[in-house]
Amino acid sequence: MNTSHYDAFRAEVRQWLDENLTAELREVSERATSVFIDKPHTLAWQRILATRGWVAPHWPADYGGPGWDETERYIFASECARAEAPSLAPMGLRMVAPCIMRYGTEEQKAHYLPRILSGEDYWCQGYSEPQAGSDLAALALRADRDGDFYVLNGSKIWTTHAHFANRMFCLVRTSREGPRQAGITFLLLDMATPGISVRPIVSIANDHDFNQVFFEDVRVPVSGRLGEENQGWTVAKYLLEFERAVAYAAGLHAALGKLKAAAREAGLLEEPQFRRKISILAAQIGAIEAVELGVMAAIASGRNPGPASSMLKIQGTETQQRIQELAVEVAGYYAAPDQHAARQPGSGVPALTSNSAMIAAPHYFNGRAASIYGGSNEIQRGIIARQVLGL
């Protein structure tokens, strides 16, 4: 490994972020309580990254990506976490785009990929249904063929940012014969299509990230199908590889640093029991980072990381939740007031507490979902039990 190259690359990324990450965007990150940043802010950061060609680190150069290797991508993600850059919406850039590259027609690639890079198309994911969450193969949204169209009837739920999106990638039921997975088709559709309605779901943190989406005789062109009819399960499994391919350590290091700063201000770092909790978290994050580097090396050499990705999902999300729990402990009763208006970037509404106390409770509430989405941690433990322990 050419360490001098990677050292220079890290320095270049760090300097560019320091020069281009505006005060307004830093405020967005400081007040973020969800993994998803609202569309106006995430697109503002995406436009800035586009000037440097760094919007899509995982894309090959042929499609507009920087053509980085695994080490460069890891360094970039680490430096973005260190600088507290806002996250970009993953549904287009990290999830559906790789599927379009692999399974799309040349026409689909030429149409969708540039629009994803520019932010002109903003995507949501139509997977979960009221009776189909972790058991995704139980989905029932009907798609009946009518000439050159599929006619959709049913609903999707927990659809993140459907109220912002103009596009959806969606799993639908096109056949009820044979195994459940065999009758699923993957569609790309326009959210402005007649018959689609979006109902907000406001979380316990008083945030509007999720929605339920209803389909009533919605006509989607067959040309919007990705892959073959009834082969959508194959596309969906490929997409999940990218949904779960998350580097946790850099963000956890940053979150732990902010927790220690708040604890120091509150005088808790002098308490031996609290210091013990911090030390345990630091050791856990170090272990996660070591596994991530091993996974990165495996991918770089063309090997599949296998169940290690499930282990990272479990340990990364549960360590994240423990940091959030300690943040509420540090804030104490100052975490109690609901300051939804004050924590909106640029609102001008004065906060009643410090920023760390203001976001502690909503961050904790939103963080409960991390061990559910992307394949629940119970599912990940089942994968490890089968593939590692042979159970």
**CA pair distance 54, 48, nearest whole angstrom:** 9
Q: How far apart are the first and last CA of the chain?
A: 38
Q: Do 357 and 335 contact (CB within 8 A), yes or no?
A: yes
CA distances from 323 to 339, 340, 346 (A): 21, 21, 27
Identity (one letter) of the amino acid at 190?
Answer: D
Instruction: Provide DSSP, 291-324.
Output: HHHHHHHHHHTT---TTHHHHHHHHHHHHHHHHH
Report the DSSP beta bridge partners of residue 202.
Answer: 208
Q: With b meaning 16 or more CB within 10 Å and e meaning fewer, what string describes 331-351?
A: beebbeeebeebbebeeeeeb
For residue 49, give the H/E element and its range. Answer: helix 39-50
For residue 14, give the H/E element and its range. Answer: helix 3-20
243 labelled catalytic: yes
Q: How many CA atoms lie within 13 A of 252 on its CB side?
A: 27
**CA pair distance 378, 189, nearest whole angstrom:** 31
Which listed residue (19, 243, 265, 270) is catalytic?
243
Q: How many Cβ atoms are within 10 Å of 171's Cβ, its own excluded?
A: 26
**CA pair distance 367, 271, nearest whole angstrom:** 26
Tokens matching residue 284 = 């856990």
Q: How many CA atoms lie within 13 A of 157 on its CB side?
A: 12
Active site amino acids: 243
